[in-house]
Chain A
Amino acid sequence: MIKLIDLTKVYKGFCAVDEINIDVKAGAIFGFLGPNGAGKTTTIKMMAGIIKPTSGQIIINGMNLAEKPSAVKQYVGFIPDRPFLYEKLTGFEFLLLIAGLYRLDHTPLFDHRISELLELFDLSHWKDELIESYSHGMKQRLVMCASLLHRPGVLIVDEPMVGLDPRAARLVKGIFKEQASNGTTIFMSTHSLEVAQEICDEIAIIQTGQIVAKGTSEALRRMAGVDGDLEHTFLKLTEGKRLGHEKFLSAH
């Protein structure tokens, strides 16, 4: 469903993402882990079509993002790491904006869908307030609402749990699982290893722009040769290039 082929991003001589290859099956939840500054957000922004890759391909649902950007974006739902929104709109007006951008028909059924989603994310009482008065977590939930509005086949999510209270985090986990069981493919970066362990079918660990390990959490554990939970595995797998990785990168 999602295919990244030799995907590379170079920022002014600095290689943030270095020829990564990833293949995600339809209906799977794919976890993308890695230390700070590893290149997760960069990869995800490229997949969402916000920044252009320096080289390599992104193929989603059999379509190349570079060739058919509109069709791919229509198929994808995107949740960024920080919920920057139009502060002077109300939550409801923001959802209408999204509906317009994705060319959703304005039918009674659609209105029903909006109120259903607002209810799901516990935002019904806030829908007519300006977004500038929302808290961080509320904005985050509104973004999730917006990304599900057009029933995407692929969800691309950057650190979904940041700023959510335990109840909302639980809710989001549930929604992701349900979406996946309905056939939606989810590509998710996260720092929360429990979340990764709990809901991801497959995990990749990226470090200094390169994939250092890929597989189910079971396979990763075997690869690292450690017992115990994913935390040990993660620390073991990412310890190698920790020191002096700046030097390593600037050699590129």
Chain B
Amino acid sequence: MKNFYLLIKPRFFAFRNQLISSKGGKRKRIFILGGLGFAFCCGMFVVSSRVLMHFQSVEVIGDLVARYLLSMILLTFFSLLIFSHIITAVSNLYLSKDLEFCHSTPVSVEELFLSRSFFTLMDSSWMLLIFGLPVFMAYAYVYRPGAGFYFTLLHMNLAMIIIAAGAGILITMLLVYVFPAQRTKDIIMFIAILMIVALYFLFRFLRPERLANPDSFFSIMEYLSALKAPQSPYLPTQWITETLWDSLTVPGGKNHMFAVTLTWVTALSMVVINVWVAQAVYIAGFSKSQEAKKRHTVGTKILDVFVRCIKKPFGEDLGAIIAKDLRTFFRDNTQWSQLILLGALVVVYVYNFSVLPLDKSPIKLDFLQNELAFLNMGLAGFVLSAISARFIFTAVSAEGEAYWVISSSPMRLRQYLWGKYVYFLFPMVFLAEVLVIVTNYLLDVTCFMMFLSSIAMFFMVLGIVALGIGFGALYANFKYENIAQLSVGFGGVLYMIVSSIFIAIVIVLEAGPVYILFTSDASGTTVTAFQWLLIIASFLMVVLINILAIFKPMKMGLKALREYEG
């Protein structure tokens, strides 16, 4: 175990050095991020305690719904944990750059495996802390349990994380072992597809829409029994839900020795099984993953034609870069499998609109639909920002250490940045319009709103993409370990925030005039000169903000790139 400690020490040192050596700018960043995280937690806490208090005020079914919600939350966490463990296990156990060194030292397989699993667990479960803590605290705030609850919460969550880590790492090890060597990198692809299927089942399993709509049950009795029904006695989350819920609501807490023992025995046996499997297959799998580099390219002909068509209008030098980007994109499984994942996200988003019980809503008015259309625009804008945080914000950094090829070439950086902008603009505009038009169609909005939102969306995308490229250049990092991590780093989070603010401002500025027009239309009065002035003023503001959002970040990014010095 001495070696285990030695192996995990470098991470702590790196973390400590970062904290100590970070002065001025860096430390400010940490504070900003910490502040944002804290604000987020507070928001989550307030919203969840509101919801819970609302439930508590409802007779009979209130507590049941709250309990059902708890089990849903735990199940969601559990599945998210397994997924994130799979993803981080691939990089921590097989792809990380320092592994070659670790494997060359005389430490034992078990110690190496356990230390890497420890990193995996750390990397993938801190999210749970940020998202989970405020929710659990909201439960505690509303139900006011004794101190025993906090203890139960702590150790049951720890057990859940260990079980999820065990499952995720086990799946990863077996996948890497079973797949042939040249295909190890395709595992990420495989996992992506697995995740989509799982996402679908999770949704079908939970059926969140039926909670919102009690009418879909024949009787209140049926509704109650649907809520009470345990999901499955074999799921660890079921045991955890039971224990947590009882220590929340029953004073003194019921004795749940059986569930607690079951959970911990599962967790510990997971660890033992993992170590056994690691002894058998980890080294073999690692050696395989080192051979994963491909020699031959497949499907080059089709790709060639495709690339030639797209790069044509861009001229010689830009065209060359775009050809390079396209080829890299299609040859890198980790990239386009994430696109599939994002596609699934979009489908789920649209699907949610189609199951909204709009016709059951008590205030059935055109008005609601139009309000929803604005909300929808905001949500679509947010989805687009999330997508561009992953693909557009990272577009400049994606050059990686090969960036010297660009910066030592005679191509102008201005042209380079704007070229990237135009390149991403087309798919994003397409996606945005599809999103808005389909969801608006499902919402059944008026023609005028349809027209307005598709125009507004078009201009919004111009800003969102420019912000992405600009911030990406401003916070360019060509020395990343894993490019996906950049979009959740400081620059990426900042981009998401700025982009959300931009979207919110534009929507508020547009909603005002539309409200004026609609009310005057509904009441039959004419719009006064002053109101026209307001309308024109806010549209001018929209134009101004849009121009600002396009040119300002690009300019800042260009300046930062020119002064980049590694």
Contact = CB atoms under 8 A, between A and B. Distances in A.
B402 A85 contact: yes
B141 interface: no
Contacts of B332: 88
Contact of B405 (A11, A86, A103): A86
Nearest to A85: B402
Contacts of A74: 410
A132 B294 contact: yes
A73 B410 contact: yes
A232 B132 CA distance: 67
Interface string A87-118: 01110010011111111000000000000000
B566 interface: yes
Contacts of B407: 48-50
A170 B295 CA distance: 28
Contact of B400 (A84, A132, A133): A84
Interface string A169-190: 0000000000000000000000
Contacts of A98: 320, 405, 409
Given A84-B402, A89-B328, A101 B321 contact: yes
Nearest to A52: B563
A229 interface: no
B411 A70 contact: yes
A103 B402 CA distance: 19
Contacts of B324: 86, 89, 93, 97
Contact of A50 (B316, B321, B408): B408
B296 A129 contact: yes
A51 interface: yes
Contact of B565 (A51, A69, A99): A51
A78 interface: yes
Contacts of B410: 69-71, 73-74, 101-103
Nearest to B329: A88
A130 interface: yes
B327 A52 contact: no
A156 B96 CA distance: 33
A127 to B, nearest CB: 12
Contacts of A48: 404, 407-408
A100 B321 contact: yes
Given A52-B562, A97-B323, A128 B297 contact: yes
Contacts of B563: 52
B331 A88 contact: yes
Contacts of B316: 100, 103
Contact of A84 (B293, B295, B401): B401
Nearest to A11: B565
Interface of B is mostly: helix
Interface string A30-50: 000000000000000000111
Nearest to A99: B320
Interface in B392-417: 400-402, 404-412
Interface residues of A, number: 35
A215 interface: no
B405 A97 contact: yes
A171 B412 CA distance: 34
A51 B317 CA distance: 21
Nearest to B324: A97
Contacts of A96: 320, 323
B478 to A, nearest CB: 9
A97 B327 CA distance: 11
A80 interface: yes
A98 B317 CA distance: 9
Interface string B202-217: 0000000000000000
Interface of A is mostly: mixed
Interface in B365-402: 400-402
Contacts of B293: 130, 132-133
Contacts of B296: 129-130
A101 B405 contact: yes
B321 A86 contact: no
Contacts of A129: 295-297
Contact of B409 (A73, A89, A93): A73
B420 to A, nearest CB: 14
A147 to B, nearest CB: 9
A11 to B, nearest CB: 7
B319 interface: yes
A101 B564 contact: no
Nearest to B330: A88
B164 to A, nearest CB: 33
A101 B317 contact: yes
Interface string B296-331: 110000000000000000001101110110011001
A142 B411 CA distance: 21
A51 B566 CA distance: 8
Contacts of B331: 88, 130
Contacts of B562: 52
B303 to A, nearest CB: 10
A51 B564 contact: yes
Nearest to B307: A93
Contacts of B295: 129-130, 133
A132 B333 CA distance: 14
Contacts of A89: 324, 327-328
Nearest to A42: B565
B402 A86 contact: yes
Interface string B228-247: 00000000000000000000
A99 B564 CA distance: 25
Interface of B: 293-297, 316-317, 319-321, 323-324, 327-328, 331-332, 400-402, 404-412, 562-566
19 contacts: A48-B408, A51-B565, A71-B410, A76-B408, A80-B404, A84-B401, A84-B404, A85-B405, A86-B328, A93-B324, A97-B323, A98-B405, A98-B409, A100-B319, A102-B410, A103-B316, A103-B410, A129-B295, A130-B293
Interface of A: 11, 48-52, 69-71, 73-74, 76, 78, 80, 82, 84-86, 88-90, 93, 96-103, 128-130, 132-133
State the 7 A-B residue pairs at the shortest beta-carbon distance, nearest first. Answer: A100-B320, A84-B401, A101-B409, A74-B410, A73-B410, A88-B328, A70-B410
Given A48-B407, A89-B324, 15 more contacts: A52-B562, A52-B563, A73-B410, A80-B404, A84-B400, A88-B327, A93-B327, A96-B320, A97-B320, A97-B323, A97-B405, A100-B321, A129-B297, A132-B294, A133-B293
